């Protein structure tokens, strides 16, 4: 089955995707991870991507759709994808729909993780502090200034996808404020309904 995890930065998409990979043997496709890999390439494109990401803005649809297309083409046949942090715009959602049709695959569910903003700020600033304390690299966009831009990008460009997928009958919302285990349980029961 192929699913999308939808939600603002800090909602827990990456954490829950990692659990689904472990439990269901699915393939996680995170455009954020792909872009973090691309930015270290030292190319002009990589540098441009780095500047946009650090500011907290969205990278162009063209770049992101290209990355997803490449992954889907190289992985073809595996199936069982978790789209994490993609799509983030209506154009990306349309492109994903078309790519899946081309591959003869379905989109089985879109899981929205609902969380409120105060918690997001706490989680993200906390994530940066924890990484720092553990001597791990801190994401350049995990600071309050970039986070404000990331949240605005979510509300302006990504949240319309909630209506889009609701209208298609694909949307299921879960409480992202619950504990990690409880969120995982809610996702599992949402997925059972789509199987
Ligand atoms: P994430 O790791 O999903 O929080 O993504 C980190 C950053 O990468 C975002 O703030 C954007 O700058 C960029 N990014 C990730 N996924 C996308 C996407 N689907 N469309 C545009 N930009 C993206």
Q: Which residues are catalytically annotated?
A: 13, 88, 127, 139, 150
Print burial letters for 110-146: b (CB count within 10 Å at least 16), e (below 16).
bbbbebeeeebbebbeeebeeeeeeeeeebebbeeeb
8 A C-beta contact, residue 177 and residue 168: no
Residue ID of nearest Cα to ligand 1 atom 5:
32
Atom of ligand 1 nearest to the CA of 30: 3
Residues framing ligand 1 (Cβ under 6 A): 9, 31-32, 35, 52-53, 56-59, 64, 85-86, 88, 92, 141, 150
pLDDT tens digit string along 81-99? 999 999 999 999 999 999 9
Task: Look at the block and give the residue holding tokens 């996808």.
Answer: 161
pLDDT tens digit string along 32-47? 999 999 998 888 889 9
Residue ID of nearest Cα to ligand 1 atom 11:
58
Residue 79 has what pLDDT? 62
CA of 32 from ligand 1 middle (Å) equals: 5
The encoded tokens of residue 150 equal: 């990331």
pLDDT tens digit string along 49-75? 999 999 999 999 999 999 999 999 987
Tell me the CB-side half-sphere exposure of residue 102, using CA atoms within 13 A. Answer: 10
DSSP code string of 6-73:
E--TTSSHHHHHHHHHHHH--EEEEHHHHHHHHGGG-SHHHHHHHHHHHHTPPPPHHHHHHHHHHHHH
Kindly indicate the confidence band of residue 117, based on its pLDDT and cuts at 50, 70 and 90: confident
CA of 70 from ligand 1 middle (Å) equals: 17
Residue ID of nearest Cα to ligand 1 atom 1:
32
Residue ID of nearest Cα to ligand 1 atom 2:
32
The number of beta carbons lying within 10 Å of the beta carbon of residue 82 is 23
């Amino acid at each position: 089955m192929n699913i999308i995890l939808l939600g603002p930065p800090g909602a827990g998409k990456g954490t829950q995707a990692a659990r689904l990979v472990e439990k269901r043997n699915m393939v996680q496709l995170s455009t954020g991870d792909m872009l973090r890999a691309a930015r270290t390439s030292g190319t002009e494109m990589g540098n441009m991507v780095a500047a946009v990401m650090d500011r907290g803005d969205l990278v162009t649809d063209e770049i992101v759709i290209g990355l997803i297309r490449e992954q889907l083409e190289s992985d073809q046949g595996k199936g069982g994808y978790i789209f994490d942090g993609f799509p983030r715009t209506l154009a990306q959602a349309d492109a994903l729909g078309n790519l899946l049709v081309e591959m003869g695959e379905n989109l089985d569910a879109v899981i929205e993780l609902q969380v409120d903003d105060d918690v997001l700020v706490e989680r993200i600033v906390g994530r940066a502090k924890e990484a720092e304390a553990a001597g791990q690299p801190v994401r350049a966009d995990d600071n309050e200034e970039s986070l404000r831009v990331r949240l605005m990008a979510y509300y302006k460009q990504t949240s319309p996808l909630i209506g889009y997928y609701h209208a298609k009958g694909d949307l299921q919302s879960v409480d992202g404020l619950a504990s990690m285990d409880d969120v995982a349980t809610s996702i599992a029961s949402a997925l059972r309904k789509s199987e």
